[in-house]
Amino acid sequence: MDFFSEIDRLENNANDENLINIDDVIANGQLFTALEAVPTISAIYCTYSTALAGIINALNQTGYLINEEQEEMSANGFMYTWNFQERLISIILLYPASRSIHPAAIKNQQYSYYL
């Protein structure tokens, strides 16, 4: 599931940090619907920092308390957790499988650990 459901971009700008979020899975309820439908979901993995920032910001704006703790294997050194219907959900940043400057060995180790 992609965090962004609909985006726009600044004119002549392909930088992902400058995406204009028009709609996302929190605003339109798709994430909550998925979490309710599949009670075994306990983790959300983001491969782009823009999506991670977006999901954390959107959850905060929705009133959820997001906890941050150190997580050595995550791409940014942190794991974020929140409580959804008495279920702890973690949010972790992974290195992108492709289009990443990080060595394949590091990405393989990280993906094996989490997935």
Q: What is the predicted pLDDT for the residue at 115?
A: 86
Q: What is the predicted pLDDT for the residue at 98?
A: 79
Domain residue ranges of the chain, discontinuous segments joined by +: 4-114
Report phi then psi at 6, rounded to 5.
Answer: -150, 130
Task: State how far the Cα of 114 lies from the Cα of 106, in Å rounded to an integer.
Answer: 12
pLDDT digits (tens, 9 = 90+) for 32-55: 999 999 999 999 999 888 889 999
Tens digits of pLDDT across the chain (115 residues): 677 667 677 777 666 667 766 778 898 999 999 999 999 999 999 988 888 999 999 999 999 999 999 999 999 999 999 999 999 999 999 998 877 788 888 898 998 999 8
pTM for this model (two decimals): 0.83
